[in-house]
Amino acid sequence: MFSLRFTIILLAILIVPCLIRLKYDLEPYPAVMLPSGARKVQVGSDKFEVSYSAIYAMKKDGNWNNVDVKSLFDPIPSHYHKYILSNEFGLRESQETSKLGKTHPILVKLNILKNRVATEQDKNEVKQWLRNKLREQNFSDDKLKIIKKEEIISIPDGENLSAKITDEKVIYLD
């Protein structure tokens, strides 16, 4: 059967990634770890707050309309959309990396933590990609807007009780 040495090595392989996630909030891949999803909500409340990002673009008549996100991001699966939006399609400097780099300079020195800022060529590529996608949906292709919304929803009937815009960012594609 497995020797004591094997067991110790196995424990190290299993535990070290967990400790890294705990201490540095970085998850190695691959690693034997499942997410906990240990959030809680108030039970008695009859309202629920949801926050999400929506994408708007301009129609020919000058009005801002909701963009079909699934088509816009196609072929990228939907559960990655919010991460791409938080990074503004790679068009802004990755502040997350800069923050981590300040607290973990050794990771930067070892070239593990990289300052992933898109080159001009990459930015032009993604802008062209978005322009094509907007044209497919009959939108003007010069800009789009990312709107972060917070909505309060009534739990018993699912009705939208209130909505507010918490952030708005226009991305110019020309």
Partner 1 sequence: MKKLYTWTNTLNSLFWARVVDSTNLDVRSLSAFRILLGTFLLATYIPGFSWIAEVPQALFNPPVLSIANLFNKFPDISFFFALDCLVLLSLVGLTLGIKARLSTLLFLISWTIGLNFKFSFGKIDHSLLLLSALLFCMAFSGWGRKLAILPDNKTKFDSTSKSLSLLSVLLCFAMFTAGIIKAMNWIDFDLDANGFLSWHRSGYFQNGRQHLLAPYVNYFPAIVVEFFDYAAVGFELSPLLFLLHSRKGWRLWLLTACTFHMANTLMLNILFVLNFLAYIVFVDFTWLYDKFQQLKNSLYVKYCAFAAIALIVLFRGLHIFNYDILLSPLTHNETWLAKQWLDLAIWGVSILLIVKSLNQKNTSDHEDVREIEKKSAVGATL
C-beta of 61 vs 157, nearer to partner 1:
157
Inter-CA distances, 170 with 14, 50, 70, 86, 159, Å: 44, 22, 20, 13, 29
Among 19, 23, 37, 103, which residue interacts with partner 1 (rule: CB under 8 A)?
Answer: 37
C-beta of 59 vs 122, nearer to partner 1:
122
Cβ atoms of 37 and 43 within 8 Å: the answer is no
Among 116, 164, 165, 166, which residue interacts with partner 1 (rule: CB under 8 A)?
Answer: 116
Closest CA to 49 of 163, 148, 156: 163
Using CA atoms, how far apart are residues 37 and 43, in angstroms rounded to an integer? 17
CB of 44 to partner 1, least distance (A): 6
Cβ atoms of 92 and 172 within 8 Å: the answer is no
Q: Locate 127 and state its tokens.
A: 């802008």
List residues bridging with 149 in a β-sheet.
52, 165
- Quick check: 39 binds partner 1 (CB under 8 A)? yes
- Quick check: 34 binds partner 1 (CB under 8 A)? yes
- Quick check: 161 binds partner 1 (CB under 8 A)? no
Sites of contact with partner 1 (CB under 8 A): 1-4, 7, 10, 14, 17-18, 20, 26-30, 32-44, 48, 50, 52, 70, 75-76, 79-80, 83-84, 86-87, 89-91, 94, 100, 107, 112-114, 116, 118, 121-123, 125-126, 129, 153, 155-156, 158
